[in-house]
Amino acid sequence: MDAVTEERYLPWGLLAPALIIILLIGVFPLFYNLFLSMHFWNLTRPELGMRFIWFKNYTSLFTSSLFWEAFLRTFVFTIVAVGLEMCLGFGLALLFNRDFKGKSIVFPIILIPMITTPIVVGLIWRYMFNGEFGFVSWILQVVGTDVHAVLSNPATALPAVIFVDVWHWTPFVFLLSLARLGALPRSPYEAAEIDGASTWQIFKWVTFPMMKSVLLVALLLRTMDAFKIFDEIFIMTQGGPGDATEVLSLEIYRQTFRYFNMGKGSALAIVMLIVIIIISRIYLKIFQKEEAVVQQ
Amino acid sequence: MANIQMKKLCKNFGNVKAVIDLDLDIQDKEMVCLLGPSGCGKTTSLRMLAGLERPSSGTILIGERDVTDLSPRDRDIAMVFENYALYPQMTVFENIAFPLRVKKLPKDEIKKKVEEAAEILEIENLLDRGITQLSGGQKQRVAMGRAIVRNPSAFLMDEPISHLDAKLRAHMRGEIKRLQKDLGTTTVYVTHDQLEAMSMADRVAVMNDGVLQQLGTPGEIFNDPVNEFVAGFIGDPPINFIDGQLVSEGGKMYIRNDEFSFEIPQQRVSVLTETPSVVFVRLGIRPTHFSIHNKQADQMGIPAEVYISEPLGEVQIIDLSFRDKIIKVVTSPDIKTEIGEKVWLSFDFDKANIFNKETGMKIG
Ligand SMILES: Nc1ncnc2c1ncn2[C@@H]1O[C@H](COP(=O)(O)OP(=O)(O)O)[C@@H](O)[C@H]1O
Ligand SMILES: [Mg+2]
C-alpha cells in the first residue's frame, strides 16, 4: 500500500471499531425499534407471527386514556421535580459561593446522592418509606399524621418519588451552578457595586444573566433525564399503587415485558423519543436566542 | 464635584506592602495622574479610593466626607477599569444605562441621558450592539459612557487607554482631557505611560514601590525632579546620569572626575553648601540640553565617541559612549556624525540637576 492510499484509509481504520459499536448499540436498535413499532408482534401469541400493520400501534396508543394519563403524569413528575432541583440546586450554589464555617465538610455530603446509582437510590428510599420500619414513616407518625406507608398510598406515592428524584439530582444542578459561579469574572461585580447596584440588583442584572447559559444546560439535561426516569420508580413502586406512579418508561416496560406486546412497546418508545427531541429543540432555540443577544 | 484627600493611606497584602503612607490632596475639578512603573501600587491606591480594597490604615475623604469605611456604592464615584469591566450580557445601551437603571430613573430620562453620553463619545450607532462585538477602542468608549452618564463627584480611571494602539491612544489622550475639562469632574487617572501623564494631568503623582515620590505639575516633575527615580522615569529618551565628585578650590566649587572638571555656577553653590558632607554626586542632564562640538571649546567639555545615530525626521538622537555608558543626545537632524568619531559635549548647567549619589535625592 502506498503512502497516499494509506493516508486515505487510515482514519477509517482507526474509527472503525468505534463506528461498529455505535452502529450496533445505537443506530441498529433505533431502526429496529422503528421497524417493530409498525408491526404486530406478541410473544405470547407466536402462532400469529409478525405482521406489518402501518401505524395501528400508534393510533391505539393515542386513543387509550391510559397512555394519556401516563403522559400527563410524566410531565407533572418532570416539571415539578426538575423545577425543584433547579431552584434548590442554584440556591444552594449561591450559598456555597461564599465562605462559611464547615463548608468543606458539608460540600461532599451534599454530593453523595449524585454519585449513588439509581437502583441503590430506589432501594434506600424504599426502606426509608417502608410502612413498618421506615425512617420517614416513623417521622410522619411522630409528627402525628396518619399516613405511614407513603409508597402504598395513591395520594402520596407520586410526591414521594418526586421527592426522591429531587434528593438524587439537586446536587447535579448544584455542582454545575457552583462551578460556573466560581468561574464568573470578578470585574462586572466591582463595576456594578461602583455603579451603585444593590445586592438584589446585582443578582438580577449581573449574576443571573451570566448564569443563564449554564442553567439552561442543567435544565435541558435534567428534563431529558427526568422524562425517562425508570429505575428508582421501578424499584420503589413498580408504577403503583394502581398506576399512581406509572410514568411513560414504566408503561413501555409493562407493554413490552409484561404483556409481551413488542409493537406497542416500541411505538411508545418512539413517541417518547420524539417528545424528548422536541423538548431539546425548544431549549436549544432559547439557548441560541440568549447567545445571539450576547454575540450581537 | 469634590476634592479628594488621602491621608497616611497604607495597604498590605500579606507581606507585600503595596502602598505605603500615601498622602495626596486632589483639588476640585483637578485631574491628577498616578504615574509609576508596573507593580508600584497605582491600581491598589485607586481601588482603595473606589472602596474595592479596604486600606490597612489611613483615611480617605471625598468632598470633606470620610468615606474610608463606606462601600463603593455609597461613595458616588465612577470608575473606568483597565479591562473595561463591561456587563457581558448587555447591549451597549444597557451598559451605559446601568447606573441610571440602578437609581430607578424614569425610562425616557434614562434614554435621553444615555443618548447624550453616546453623542459626546460618538458611539450613537453602537447602542444596540452586544459587548462581544466591539473593538477595544469602542469598549473603552462604552466604559467612559457608563462613567459620564452618572455625573459623579469623581472619576477614577485605571489605565483606560493602555490597551489601544498607539494612534488611537494619542487621539484618546486629547479626547479624555477635553472631556474632563468640559465636565469639570475631579479625576484620578492611573497610568504607567509618562507621556500620557505629562500630557493629560494638571498634576502628576509619581509613585515607586508603593511610595509617593513627587507630586507636581508636569513642568515641575520634568524640570525639577526630587530624586533620581523621578528624573529617570520622566522623559523620552531618558535623562543621562554622569557621576562626579564635589570639590571646593579657591572659593569655587567644581564637579570633577577623570575626564572633566566643571565649575558650578555661583548661584547654585549656595544651595549645595547646605549639605556639606556630600562628596559623591551624580549629574542629571536631559538629552535636549547637550550640544555637540567636534573640538574642545573650553574647559566645559565631556569627551565622548559616537556610538550610533538615530534619525527620527524632525530630530535625531545621537548615542555617544562615555566611559562604559551611553549618553543620549537629541540634536537637529542636520548634524552629521560618523561611527567612532571623537566629539565633545557641552551642556546648559542651569538646567542640569545634581543628585546625591548615595541617596538619590536631589541636592541642587
Ligand atoms: N490582591 C492582591 N493580592 C496580593 N498582592 C497584590 C494584590 N493586588 C496587588 N498586589 C501586589 O501589590 C503591588 C502593587 O500592585 P498594583 O497596585 O496592581 O500595581 P500597579 O497598578 O501600579 O501596576 C504588586 O506587588 C502586586 O503584586
Ligand atoms: Mg495596575
What value of ipTM does the predicted structure carry?
0.84
Residue A293 banded pLDDT, cuts 50, 70, 90 = low
| Exposure on the CB side of residue A3, measured as CA atoms within 13 A | 0
Pick the residue from chain A with its C-alpha nearest to B127: A296
Closest Cβ opposite residue A295 in set B90, B130, B146: B130
- Rounded to whole angstroms, the Cα distance separating B83 from A241 reads 61
Other residues' Cβ atoms within 10 Å of the Cβ of residue B204: 27
Whether B364 is in a domain gets the answer no
Pick the residue from chain A with its C-alpha nearest to B126: A296
- Looking at the structure, do residues B226 and B287 belong to the same domain, yes or no? no
Please, which residues have CB within 8 angstroms of residue B72's CB and are 6 or more apart in sequence?
A: A190, A193, A194, B50, B51, B52
Displacement of CA B50 from its chain's centroid (Å): 20
- Rounded to whole angstroms, the Cα distance separating A70 from A245 reads 8
Whether residue A50 has pLDDT greater than 60: yes
For residue B22, give Cα distances in angstroms to A59, B31, B42.
Answer: 82, 18, 11
Say if the Cβ atoms of A194 and B79 lie within 8 Å.
Answer: yes
Closest Cβ opposite residue B72 in set A194, A206, A209: A194
Say if the Cβ atoms of B88 and A294 lie within 8 Å.
Answer: yes
pLDDT of A140:
80
Calculate what percentage of chain B has a pLDDT beyond 90.
62
Using the CB atoms, write b or e for A177-191: b if 16+ within 10 Å: bbebbeebeebbbbb
Say yes or no: CB of residue B38 within 6 Å of ligand 1.
Answer: yes
Angle (CA) A177-A180-A181 rounded to 5° is 80
- Looking at the structure, do residues B223 and B248 belong to the same domain, yes or no? no
Q: How far is the CA of B190 from the centre of ligand 2 (A)?
A: 8
Q: State the smallest CA–CA distance between residue A92 and chain B in angstroms.
A: 23
**Would you state the cell numbers that stand for residue A3, as one nine-digit string?**
503512502
Which DSSP category does A146 fall into?
S
For residue B301, give Cα distances in angstroms to A80, B250, B291, B292, B308.
Answer: 92, 21, 10, 9, 20
How high does pLDDT run on average in chain A?
88
Q: Which ligand is nearest to the CA of B207?
A: 1
- Rounded to whole angstroms, the Cα distance separating B89 from B130 reads 7
**Could you tell me if A293 and B130 are in contact, meaning their C-beta atoms sit under 8 angstroms apart?**
yes
| Domain boundary, last residue among B218, B233, B248 | B233
| Domain boundary, last residue among B175, B199, B233 | B233
Q: Which CATH number fits domain A64-295: 3.40.220.10, 3.20.20.70, 1.10.3720.10, 3.40.190.10?
A: 1.10.3720.10
H/E stretch holding B35: strand B31-35
Say if the Cβ atoms of A187 and B83 lie within 8 Å.
Answer: yes
Q: What spatial distance separates the first Cα and last Cα of chain B, rounded to whole Å? A: 39
Structural domain range at position B105: 4-233
- Looking at the structure, do residues B212 and B180 belong to the same domain, yes or no? yes
| Alpha helical stretches, state H, B273-354 | none
| Domain boundary, last residue among B183, B204, B233 | B233
Whether B115 is in a domain gets the answer yes
- Rounded to whole angstroms, the Cα distance separating B292 from B6 reads 46
User: What is the average per-residue pLDDT within B84-102?
Assistant: 93
pLDDT of B64:
86
Window 193-232 of A, Cβ < 8 Å to B: 193-198, 201, 205-206, 209-210, 212
How are the residues of chain B apportioned to helix, strand and coil, as percentages rounded to the nearest 5? 30, 35, 35
Q: How far is the CA of B194 from the centre of ligand 2 (A)?
A: 14
pLDDT of B276:
66
**Could you tell me if B212 and B19 are in contact, meaning their C-beta atoms sit under 8 angstroms apart?**
no
pLDDT of A93:
94
- Highest average pLDDT, of A84-88, A211-215, A236-240, B168-172, comes from A84-88
Whether B28 is in a domain gets the answer yes
**Could you tell me if B176 and B140 are in contact, meaning their C-beta atoms sit under 8 angstroms apart?**
no
Whether B339 is in a domain gets the answer yes
- Looking at the structure, do residues B129 and B149 belong to the same domain, yes or no? yes
User: What is the average per-residue pLDDT within A242-258?
Assistant: 88
pLDDT of B350:
85
pLDDT of A1:
61
What one-letter code names the amino acid at B332?
S
Taking Cα atoms as reference points, which of A75, A64, A95 lies closest to residue A170?
A95
Maximum CA extent, chain A: 83
Say yes or no: CB of residue B87 within 6 Å of ligand 1.
Answer: no
Q: How far is the CA of B44 from the centre of ligand 1 (A)?
A: 6
Residue B316 banded pLDDT, cuts 50, 70, 90 = very high
- Looking at the structure, do residues B163 and B252 belong to the same domain, yes or no? no
Taking Cα atoms as reference points, which of B168, B160, B212 lies closest to residue B188?
B160
Whether B361 is in a domain gets the answer no
Q: CATH code at B302? A: 2.40.50.140
Whether B183 is in a domain gets the answer yes
Pick the residue from chain A with its C-alpha nearest to B72: A194
Whether residue A151 has pLDDT greater than 60: yes
User: What is the average per-residue pLDDT within B287-299?
Assistant: 82
- Rounded to whole angstroms, the Cα distance separating B137 from B127 reads 15
How high does pLDDT run on average in chain B?
90
Whether residue A184 has pLDDT greater than 60: yes
- Rounded to whole angstroms, the Cα distance separating B235 from B241 reads 13
Q: State the smallest CA–CA distance between residue B150 and chain A in angstroms.
A: 8
pLDDT tens, position by position, B54-86: 999 999 999 889 999 999 999 999 999 998 999
Query: Which residue is listed with cell 466604559?
Result: B143
Instruction: Quote the number of domains for chain B.
Output: 2
User: What is the average per-residue pLDDT within B82-109?
Assistant: 92
Residue A294 banded pLDDT, cuts 50, 70, 90 = low
Window 130-159 of B, Cβ < 8 Å to A: 130-133, 146, 150
Residue of the CA atom closest to atom 4 of ligand 1: B13
- Rounded to whole angstroms, the Cα distance separating B152 from B67 reads 15
User: What is the average per-residue pLDDT within B220-242?
Assistant: 93
Sign of the torsion angle spanned by Cα atoms A147, A148, A151, A152: negative
The alpha-carbon radius of gyration of chain B (Å, integer) is: 25
pTM of the model: 0.82
Residue B92: left if φ>0, alpha if ψ -120 to 50, beta else—which one?
A: alpha
**Could you tell me if B161 and B141 are in contact, meaning their C-beta atoms sit under 8 angstroms apart?**
no
What are the phi and psi torsion angles at A256 (to 5°)? Answer: -85, -45
- Looking at the structure, do residues B217 and B287 belong to the same domain, yes or no? no
pLDDT of A65:
85
H/E stretch holding A202: helix A199-202
Helix B107-120 with B136-148: angle, nearest 10 deg: 130
H/E stretch holding A168: helix A154-183
**Could you tell me if B35 and B222 are in contact, meaning their C-beta atoms sit under 8 angstroms apart?**
no
Residue B275 banded pLDDT, cuts 50, 70, 90 = low
- Looking at the structure, do residues B148 and B287 belong to the same domain, yes or no? no
- Looking at the structure, do residues B201 and B57 belong to the same domain, yes or no? yes
pLDDT of B274:
67
Every domain of chain A with CATH number 1.10.3720.10 lies at: 64-295
Residue of A3 and A69 predicted with greater confidence: A69
Please, which residues have CB within 8 angstroms of residue B79's CB and are 6 or more apart in sequence?
A: A190, A191, A194, B46, B50, B147, B155, B156, B157, B158
pLDDT of A238:
84
Query: Which residue is listed with cell 535636549?
Result: B288
User: Residue B345 pairs with which residues in a beta bridge?
Assistant: B292, B302
User: Residue B255 pairs with which residues in a beta bridge?
Assistant: B246, B262
pLDDT of B330:
94
Please, which residues have CB within 8 angstroms of residue B273's CB and are 6 or more apart in sequence?
A: B253
Helix, strand, or coil (residue A134): coil
- Rounded to whole angstroms, the Cα distance separating B268 from A292 reads 70
Helix A65-96 with A154-183: angle, nearest 10 deg: 40
User: What is the average per-residue pLDDT within B80-106?
Assistant: 92
- Rounded to whole angstroms, the Cα distance separating A120 from A276 reads 26
Whether residue A295 has pLDDT greater than 80: no
Q: How far is the CA of B303 from the centre of ligand 1 (A)?
A: 44
Whether B229 is in a domain gets the answer yes
User: What is the average per-residue pLDDT within A23-46?
Assistant: 88
- Looking at the structure, do residues B227 and B245 belong to the same domain, yes or no? no
**Could you tell me if B80 and B144 are in contact, meaning their C-beta atoms sit under 8 angstroms apart?**
yes
Residue B186 banded pLDDT, cuts 50, 70, 90 = very high
pLDDT of A21:
94
Calculate what percentage of chain A has a pLDDT beyond 90.
45
pLDDT tens, position by position, B141-160: 999 999 999 889 999 999 99
